[in-house]
Structure 1
C-alpha cells in the first residue's frame, strides 16, 4: 500500500516537537521535523506559558513538516491541567498560568473545607494535587473574579492550540480528565460539583473522544504556513494518555511507567477505582483511548535530575545525562534516600541545595559531590517506583509480570536497571517516542489505516525493538524501601 503520512505535535514541559509519522501498512517510522524550547515566563508575580510563541512554533512545524512530506492529518498533545480563557469573541484573555506557579499552594485546604477529601475523590476519581484545574479555577475565582466574568470558554492547552489553528472549540476526554472537573470515567462535566463550589460551568464546552475528526486548518493558517489544508484529528490530547496508548502490551498485562519530567505509573482499567483505600493512596483515574481508565500515580520523575542539571550548568558544569548516570554509578550506594515527591522539590530552583537541605532536616549526611547527589536521586526514584508498585497491586488485587517503561526516561540504563532491581520485576523499555507514536497511531485508526487499538499496538511492537532489564533483587533495596516508607507523611 502507499505510505500514509500523519503529523504529531508533542509538547512537554520544557520543549516541543513536530514529528512526522510514515506508515507503510506494516510499520511506522518517525522523523522529527521541528524542535523548539517551551520556556515559561515569570511576569508580575506569575509563572506563565508563552502560548503565542508556542503557536508560532507550531506553525513553523506545520510548514517544515509539509516540506518533508505532505501529511493527511495532524494532532496535538500536551501536559495536563493548564488552560486558557477565551472571551465571547474567541480572544485569549491572558497567558495560561503554569501549574508550578505557587498560587494554588493552599487551594486543596480551601476546597476540602467545603467538600471533604473522601467525598471529593468519590465525585471525581481524581487525585488531589494542588495544581489540578479545579484548584486553579478556585484561586482564579477568588483573586480574579472579573477575569472569569469576562471569559466565555475554557480550553485546555492542546485544545487551545488546536483552536488557534482550526477555529474549533472542543475538549478531548483524556486531557479533560486531568482537570478534576469530570464525573468519574464519564464524558460529562461534573456541573453539580462546580455549582457547589461557585465555579462557572458555562465555561466548559463540548467534550469529544480521541479519534474525533474536528475540521481542518483555517485559511489564515494555511496562508501563513504556505500549505494546503490538513485535517485535525483529536488524539489522546494528554501526553501520558498518548504514551499509554502506545505501550506495546495487551491491555492489563503490564504496569507502565511513562517516564519524563513526571513519572506516571499505573495500569489500564475499564472502570474507575473509587474506594477509600484508593483515595487514601491518592491515585488518580484519568481517561485513555476508548474511554479506558488510567489508574495511576504521579511521581516526581526526571524533574529532579533536570533541575540538578540546570543548576550545575549555571555553575559552569555542563553534564550530559550519560555523564550524570556514570557519576551516580561511581558514588557510594544507599548512603541516603529522599522522598522525591516531597513538596519542597516541586518548584523550579536550586535542586542540589534543596536535596542537601532535605537530607539535613531528616538526619542524613547531605551529599558532598555531584555523584552522591545523583545516586541519591536515582535510588530514591527507583524505590518510589517499588512502593507504588506495591500500592497498585494491593488496590487492584492483581500481580503484574513486568513493568513497561516508555518515553524519554526509558533511555536511562541506570534508572531502568535499578527500577527492575527495586521492584523485583523485569523492566521492558520502549518506545522512546511513545507519546508521539500514540498520537500518530490514533490518527491512523481514525483514518482507517489501523482497525483498532490492539492492531495499533501490534504495529508499535513491530516498529520499535524493546530493551529488557532482568531484576537483581537484594536486601539493600528492601532496606531502602523501608527507609522511604518511613519518610512518607
Structure 2
C-alpha cells in the first residue's frame, strides 16, 4: 500500500503541537514534529491570544513535517472553541483576538437574555450558557465594527492564513451560539437580532459554512515550502477527538480530557428540550452529521493552575510525584463542584478550592497532594453526574466510557472514572485530536474511505489503548455519599 503523509496542527489552550501522520497498511504512525507553549497575553485592554505568533509556530511545524515526509497530502488545523479574530477589508487583524477567560463578557449573558429569551436561543443553538460563548463576546466588542469585514473563529483564521480562503467550519461554528444546530446553518433570526439590538453586523461579517473534510485549496504561494492541500477538519478540537474514538458500536460515552473535560454522547441529532436547557447541556456539531451532546467540565486546567500557583510560591512540586502522593491520600475526603465558574479565571486556584470546600462544610488543608486528590476525585464525580444525566436527557444507554486526549494518560483519573461511573473505561488515544484530524484529512484526500465506523477502525489499529474496570479504588456507595454532600 502506498504511504500518505498528513500534518495535524492541534492547538489547545495551554499548548500546541504539529503531528506528522503517515498512513500505511491501514494504520497511522504519528510523529510529533513540534510542541510549543500556548497561553494568555495580558495587554492594557484585557487578555488576548498572540495569533500571529501561534501561526508562525504552526507554519514552522508544517514546514518541518514537509521536510521529514518529502511532501504532504494534506494539512488541517484545530483549536479550542469560541474565540475569533476580526479582519479588515484587506484581511488583516484589527486587534489580537481576545482570550475566552477575559472578564469583559461577565455581565453580557444577562444583557442578551433581556432581549432574546434564553429558551429561544437554546431552541436554535442548543448551547450551554457560558459567559465566553462567541455570541456574548461579539456583544462585548462594542467598537470598530465599521472596520470589520470578516469574523473568523481561530482555526478558520489559521486556515485562511494558510489557504487564502475565508470559511466557517461547522463544528467550530457550533460552539458560538449563532448557528441553528438542527439545520447546520447560521441562524438568520439570531444574527439579525444581534445587528438590530446591539449594532453587531453579524449577517455581514460571517463567512460561508463548510463541513469537515472540505478541501479549501492548496496553500497560498510562499506560505509553505511546498504547495499543500489545506483541509477543513473537525476544526473544534473536541470534534476531531471524538472522530478518533476507538468505538465499535454507538453505545458509548466520551470524555475528551485536557485543559477542559468535554463529557457526553455522540448522537444523530441535537437534544433541544427545555429539560436539556435547564441542565445546561450543549449540542455541538460533529463529523458526518453527528451531534456531540455534552457538558463542559472545568478539566485539568484546575490542576495545572494549582501547580503554577504552588511553583510561583517557591514550592518544589512536580506533576508525576504529586499524582503519586495524591494516590496515597484518602479517597473522597473532600469534593467540590467542578462546574463552579469561580474556577474559570487564572489565579490562586488552591485558595478557591479551599473556600468552596468550606462552603459545603468540608475541610481542605493546603497540602498540594491533598488538594490534588480533591481535584481528581471531584473531576471523576463530575463525569459520573454528567454522563448519567446526558443519558437520561437523550434517552440513551451506554456500556463504556472512552477517554481521549492528554488526560487519558492519567491512570489514577481513569480508574476513578471507572469507579465513579460503574462502567469500563477505555483510555486512548492520547493524541486523539490529532488522529481525528488526520483521519478526516485522509478521507478527504482519497487515502481512506467509508463512514465514521470505518475511520474508527483505523484509529483502533493506530492506537495503544488501556482498559480500566470499576471497583479498583472507591466503592459505589462512597460516590453516592459524595454526590449527596455536594447537593446539600
SS at match of 1:347: coil
State the distance in 1 between where 2:385 and 2:318 align: 29
8 Å contact kept, 2:360–2:485:
no
CA distance in 2, matches of 1:193, 1:352: 40
CA shift for structure 1 position 251: 5.3
From 181, 184, 187, give the equivalent of 1:184: 181
**Residue matched to 1:161:** 158
Corresponding position of 2:105:
104
* Contact 1:25-1:449 at 8 Å conserved across structures: no
Q: Deviations over 1:462-484 (max 9, x none)?
A: 11131111001331111012223
8 A contact 1:252–1:267 mirrored in 2 = no
Q: Which residues of 2 match residues 51-200 of structure 1 at below 5 A?
A: 51-69=51-69, 70-141=71-142, 144=143, 147-198=144-195, 199-200=200-201
Distance 2:485 2:383 in 1: 14
* Superposed displacement of residue 353, structure 1: 1.4
Q: Give the CA deviation at 1:396.
A: 1.6
**How much does 1:441 deviate?**
0.4
Alignment counterpart, residue 207 of structure 2, candidates 205, 208, 231: 205
Q: How far apart are 1:428 and its partner, in Å?
A: 0.8
**Residue 348 (structure 1) shift:** 0.5
Greater alpha carbon shift after TM alignment, 282-291 vs 311-320: 311-320
Do 2:159 and 2:232's aligned partners in 1 also have CA atoms closer than 8 Å? no
- Deviation string 1:218-241 (CA, Å, 9 cap, x unpaired) is 11313xxxx111110110000000
CA RMSD of aligned residues (A): 1.3
Structure 1 length-normalised TM: 0.95
Kept in 1: contact 2:66–2:226 (CA 8 A): no
- Structure-2 separation of matches of 1:381 and 1:485: 16
Equivalent residues in 2 for 1:368-407, closer than 5 Å:
368-407=366-405
Q: Flag as ranges the 4+ runs of structure 1 deviating above 6 A.
A: none
- Maintained 8 Å contact 2:125/2:174: no
Alpha-carbon shift at residue 363 of structure 1 (Å): 2.6
Q: Distance in 1 between matches of 2:63 and 2:394?
A: 46
> Residues 105-158 of structure 1: CA distance to partner in whole angstroms, max 9, x if unpaired?
1111111111222122112111111100000011113xx2xx122100000001
Once residues 476 and 417 of structure 1 are traced to their aligned partners in structure 2, the CA distance between those partners, rounded to angstroms, is 15
The count of residues paired between Structure 1 and Structure 2 equals 478
Structure 2 unaligned spans of 5+: none
- One of 303, 306, 331 as aligned partner of 1:305: 303
Q: If the length of structure 2 is used for normalisation, what is the TM-score? A: 0.96
2:482 aligns with 480
SS in structure 2 opposite 1:5?
strand
Structure 1 residue runs without a partner (length 5+): none
> 1:306-341, CA deviations, whole angstroms, 9 ceiling, x for partnerless residues?
111111221233433322211211222222111111
Deviation for aligned residue 1:425: 0.8
The separation in 2 between residues aligned to 1:352 and 1:399, in whole angstroms, is 36
1:405-438 CA distance string (max 9 Å, x none): 0100011111111111111111111100000000
Distance 2:305 2:101 in 1: 13
Residue in 2 aligned with 1:442? Answer: 440
Measured against aligned partners, the alpha-carbon deviations of 1:431-466 in whole angstroms (never above 9, x if no partner) come to 000000000000011111111222110011111131
Corresponding residue number in structure 1 for 2:459: 460
